[in-house]
Amino acid sequence: MKTDGDMAILPLALRKNQGFHEATKWYFRGWKPLPFQWAWHQLDTLNTTLIGGIAVGKTAVVTASNTMDCLTIPHFRALNTSVTAKQAELPFQMLMAWIEGNPKLEHLVHDVVLRPYPIVEFKNYSVYEFRTVGLDARFIRGFEYDRINFDEAGLDLLGAVIKVLRGRCRGTRPDGTTRMARLDVTSSPTAALWMKERFLKGIEGEREADLEQYRSLQVSTYMNTHLTKRQIRAMESEYSADMIDVELGANFPDFGMGMFPIGHVESCTDQSLYDAAYIALNPEEGKVLPGYSLDEDPRHGVTLFEMPVEPGRTYISAGDPGTDGYPKRNAPVVMVADVTNRPFKKLVYCWWGSGRGSFNPFLKSYRYVTDKYTPILRGIDASGTQKYVDEIAFENAGIDTDRLNFSSDKVGMLNNLSMDVSSHLWKWPPISGLIKQMSTYSLDLDDKSLPQDLVMGLAEISYLARMLPGTDIQTQGIAKANFRNRNLRTTHAPRRY
């Protein structure tokens, strides 16, 4: 039952009355939108694109705007979706923080459903859903919505998802009124060409502008007046000048000189790998399947991806030791790829972690994949300070490794990876950090500020895969003597510790 406060405030929230800021202050524990957030909510076009730097408040305005539509329009259906579950569910977490224990909002909520994906149901029959999109929007087909927000849409490099989502924004509500049919794209800037083209359609003065159908906003971190100069300087200290322009300035990156063209990175990114793990861990019926793992960071995407061991398969592992934490340059990385059907390689394990000043987390992860997958080749960087990690792994942790020297072999490893990627011989899930590192990797190999740990993990595996029995390594221009080849290992060989 609506209170006197509801009767006074809810009409203000309607766009025609322009009281969005007053309504959010009342219902969302004093939260008030920044000018760009208010303007984005008020847009009356059917297609919006919001490109923002880090910490600009994209999640907050998406949550507040869609929730306010649910509160003010009966039978409204809103959806927040993304290529990963954690990103799709981030607004749900924010909304629950606004609902729980809030007497101004709780009485308007009918129910909260957590499985198989979060849904908030309101007393006026409106619903707000939060779920991953799936390969080619497989999880979204068959539904109709008033509003859909494609969160961190730049991770979909191909742009196939947006076409399906547009077809879901249609229809009429049970009370006979026409659905809003608004499709929002919110993301940090990436190399996804379709997203940049969509963004330019909503910018006045651009050649392809169509302001009747599209509206776009570009918001830099510096526009968030809630951030202090000290906080912004701390963010700037983590990035190179080019990355500051992208991550804080919200400018689309220029990848013209990149080593891995975005089209090839796109072809190697396989949403179905993520979907398989997500479905196994979040079944609508039955038990969780063993052997899978998924950890996600709300800002940086997937940090742990793991698939089960398959009997008779051939695996290669790679490790780049580090003592810092993602997304910084010196973060530890451990990867495993299935290379059974050579020359194709499928990523089955990726840990992008935090060392917290120690090599022990790296060694723990590397020992884990050694035990689980029994990789036939086990690469590890043994150059510079990293050579001592290899010695620890070999002598103390009991892990037999194939030593690689980044100082002398780095160019060869990257060239092999470049050939594999341009030939579309790799398959990996949509790991945000990996896609960003692949997309931004510079031909300037001496750039010491460029995060590259995930790239080098793949490069190690591409390099080692050329050494497998039956591979003509001379045609690839690789010196076999650069590392201690262990071709006698098989997937069924006894472990040597």
pLDDT in tens, 413-446: 888 899 999 999 999 999 999 988 888 786 554 4
Per residue in 233-280, pLDDT (tens digit) is 999 987 778 789 989 999 998 755 568 888 889 889 999 999 999 999
Beta-bridged to residue 305, according to DSSP, are: 294, 350
Which residues face 215 on adjacent strands? 48
Which is nearest to 319 in space by CA: 356, 351, 358?
Answer: 351
Phi, psi of 311 (to 5 degrees): -55, 140
**Distance in angstroms (rounded) separating the CA atoms of residues 370 and 358:** 20
| Amino acid letter, 255 | F
Domains and CATH numbers, the chain: 4-247 (3.40.50.300), 262-482 (3.30.420.240)
Work out the number of other CB atoms within 10 angstroms of the CB of residue 281: 13
Which of 85-89, 97-101, 307-311, 382-386 bottoms out in mean pLDDT, i.e. has the lowest?
382-386
**CA–CA gap between residue 96 and residue 289 (Å, rounded):** 29
pLDDT of res. 478 = 39
Residue with the two structure tokens 């497989």: 138
Distance separating alpha carbons of residues 55 and 249, to the nearest angstrom: 11
**pLDDT interval class at 493 (50, 70, 90):** very low
Q: Residue 451 pLDDT more than 80?
A: no
- Percentage of the chain modeled with pLDDT above 70: 87
Cα 435 from chain centroid (whole Å): 8
Distance CA 188, CA 155 (A): 9
